[in-house]
Structure 1
Amino acid sequence: MTIGARVLKTGLAVALAIYLSSLFGFPSPIIAAVAAIFTIQPSISRSWQHVTDQLQTNVLGAVVAIISVQLVGHTAISIGIVCIVVILLCIRLRMESTIGLTLVTVVAVMEANQQGWLFAVERFTMVLTGMGAAFLVNVLVFPPRPRHQFIEQVHGAYTQLSLLLRMAISNEMKEDVHRAEKDRLAGVLRKLEERYALFEEERSLLPKRRQARARQLILSKQLIKALHKGADLLDVVEEHYFTAPGSGEWAQRFDSQIEELTKYHEQIMLKLEGKIKVNASIEPEEERETKFIKELTAYLGGNLEEHKRLVFVSSSMFEYAFQLRRLDRLADQVLQREEEEE
């Protein structure tokens, strides 16, 4: 078991919130610590957005809590009703992620308001202290690098996909190992989508950097799409290939085509790492692919209904090839623009 950056930063944020609470002379550090836990986010952009949203809803919640105490008093029923009202307000403002900490503020302020306004303000200040501590830790300690983490996960996903694709037709991998590796690939692809969402949220202040970032986003989206098409090919092979009539006599040719596409995918990844020249010709020979299509079409033409499962497999394979070629062109364009701007 490894300790991730977010886990470590949560602990540091809580420690800082408790330290600041003692420094400011707060009677208890619990509220500040809870606020710090709620505020830690996986990216700086999301952290800043979360802090601004939390600030708005917590101010709103504190005001509602103070007014409610003056109007209906401090009872269990009144606190429950105010919590319902605040939840509805947060949903109305489309700030659902802030509900947890806002309710902590409401309960703390309503519980403290009977002891005077200053005490209620102190409780609210404790919440702000915890939020500030978490934001500082998130920015200063191991600041999130969504682009770097995204590329690492792309390489991890390709490694899993390559292993499975190279053995898809030959069916040499043990079933339990194949299932475990495929589940791992699905998990990596899910995390990749989440990481892309974080990368997409990042903002650049300089116009030049915004343009470069926009190109990287387009390239990153295509990287994900190519991986998904490779995973789709795996599913189609598993579902249709081995039950298709005539699959045995086509096994070597399908295996060769998939091996060639896997190698092409690998070379694109190497190009993005700067290990292959920009605009280097790494695309598989179209003549081989055209010959394969003609032979397969002639074979299927005799009895298309009987061999339609092979059509599903070949269609998925050609779609994967199409997305790889598109990725190759995008990679050349982005890398060339980056070289020109340096």
Structure 2
Amino acid sequence: MTIGARVFKTGLAVAVALWAGEWLGLDSPLLAAITAIFTIQPSIYRSWMQVLDQLQSNVLGVAIALVAFWVLGSTPISVGLVCILVILLCLKLKIEDTIGLTLVAVVVVMEARSQGWPVALDRLAGLLLGISSAFLVNVAIVPPRHRGRFMRLVQEGQELLSRLLRTSVSNELKESVFREEQEKLESILKKLDEYYRMFAEERVWLRRSRIRRSKLLIVYKEMLLTLRRGESLVEAVEEQYWAVSSEASWNEAADRHIEALCGYHEQLLWKWEGKMKPGAASAAPSLEDGVLLTERITASAADAVTRSRLLVITSSMFAYEDRLRRLDRLIDHWQLRERGDDDETPTVPAREKRERERAKEGEGAAKG
């Protein structure tokens, strides 16, 4: 069992909120600790948005609680009615995530208002202190780094996908193991979706950094879509292949093509990580292989149902291969940009060549 950064920061935020509450002399520092637990988020951007939403909802909730106390008092019925009103307002303002803490604020303020203004203000100060403590801890202590987590999950997902694809036709894995691996792959893809969204939400202020990150997001999105296409191929083989009886020659050709696609995917990640030798090209499968698979299906003596099912598998292979080739091009473009070889950031020799060409054009115009 490992202690993640968010687990550690939650505990630290609670400790900071309690310490700050005692240092400021609050009567209820425990409320600050409870607020800090609700405010910790997996990214700085979400933490900041949570702070804004919590401030908005808590100020609104406290204001409604004070007005309700003056009008209705602090009877159980009035507290319940105010809670219903606050829930409806939070839903109307689309800040559903803050409902829990806002209701806590309403209850403690209405209960404390009967004891006087100082107690009510003390409870409100505890709420604000907890929100501030959680945000500061999230920013200052081990800020979230989603890029490394994303790439580790991409690598893990590719290895799992490769194992599923390579055994889908040969049927070497037990059914229970295959199902377990499929569920694990789906779980990884859901985590990748979440990490991608959090990485995309991060704010970058410098224009050059924004451009660079936008292009990086395109590559990451393609990595995610490629894994999704591979998962679709696994599902197509599982649903269509075993429902019909196909020729042995087509089975062998399909198995070889899937093997080539898995190797291609693996090499693309090597290329991205800089593990391949300079000048080494990714082993993309031949375009003729897919054509031959289709021709074998159309030329076979199988019935129409069998041919249609095999064509579904072949089309899934084409879709997966198309994503791989697109990812290959995006990686090449990114690496060229990082080396300064693209049009936006030309290398020194390229700039000198352009300057010489402009100089020659100027001389020709002067002679004319």
Q: Fold conserved (TM > 0.5)? A: yes
Q: How many angstroms apart in 1 are the aligned matches of 2:268 and 2:124?
A: 53
Q: Deviations over 1:179-223 (max 9, x none)?
A: 211111111111111111111211111111111111122211111
Write the distance in 2 (CA, Å) between the matches of 1:318 and 1:253: 14
- Report the TM-score, using the length of structure 1 for normalisation: 0.94
SS of equivalent to 2:173 = coil
Correspondence list, 1:133-148, <5 A: 133-148=133-148
Deviation at 1:245, TM superposition (A): 2.4
Q: Give the drift of 1:302.
A: 6.7
SS at structure 1 position matched to 2:168: coil
CA RMSD between the two structures: 1.9
Which amino acid in the other structure matches residue 29 of structure 1? Answer: P
Deviation at 1:285, TM superposition (A): 4.2
Alignment-mate amino acid for residue 132 of structure 2: G
1:10 aligns with 2:10: yes
**Aligned letter for 1:91?**
L
Partner in structure 2 of residue 52 of structure 1: 52
CA drift of 1:249 comes to 3.3
Deviation at 1:297, TM superposition (A): 4.5
Partner residue in 1 for 2:128: 128
Tell me, in whole angstroms, the C-alpha distance in 2 between the residues paired with 1:184 and 1:24: 48
Higher relative contact order (CA 8 A, sep 6+): 1
Rounded to whole Å, the distance in 2 between the matches of 1:278 and 1:118 is 71
2:130 is equivalent to residue 116 of structure 1: no
Separation in structure 2 between the aligned mates of residue 285 and residue 90 of structure 1, nearest angstrom = 54
List per-residue Cα deviations over 1:51-108 (Å, max 9, x = no partner): 0111111111111111111111111111111111111111111111111111111111
- In the alignment, the residues of structure 2 paired with residue 301 and residue 324 of structure 1 have an alpha-carbon distance, to the nearest angstrom, of 32
Unaligned runs of 5+ in 2: 348-368
State the Cα distance separating 1:146 from its structure 2 match: 1.4
Written as runs of structure 1 = structure 2, the 5 A alignment for 1:85-96 is 85-96=85-96
Partner of 2:155: 155
TM-score where L is the length of structure 2: 0.88
How far is the alpha carbon of 1:243 from its aligned partner?
2.6
How far 1:298 moved relative to its partner? 4.1
Q: Please report how far the alpha carbon of residue 247 of structure 1 lies from its aligned counterpart in structure 2 after TM superposition.
A: 4.4
Question: Which moves more between the two structures, 171-180 or 231-240?
Answer: 171-180
Rounded Cα–Cα distance in structure 1 between residues aligned with 2:247 and 2:27: 75
Q: Does 1:226 align with 2:236?
A: no
Structure 2 CA distance for partners of 1:152 and 1:285, relative to 1, 3 Å? closer
User: Is the contact made by 1:54 and 1:102 (CA closer than 8 Å) also made in structure 2?
Assistant: yes
Q: Residue 153 of structure 1 aligns to which amino acid in structure 2?
A: L
1:167 counterpart SS class: helix
Q: How does 1:51-90 map to 2 (within 5 A)?
A: 51-90=51-90
Per-residue deviation at 1:251?
Answer: 1.8
The 5 Å alignment of 1:242-261 reads 242-261=242-261
Change beyond 3 A, Cα 1:81–1:301: same
1:263 maps to: 263
What is the 5 A alignment of 1:284-303? 284-290=284-290, 292-293=292-293, 295-300=295-300, 303=303
Change (3 A) 1:172 1:27: same
In the alignment, which residue of structure 1 is the partner of 2:358?
none
Percentage of pairs with the same residue: 46
1:268, CA displacement in angstroms?
0.9
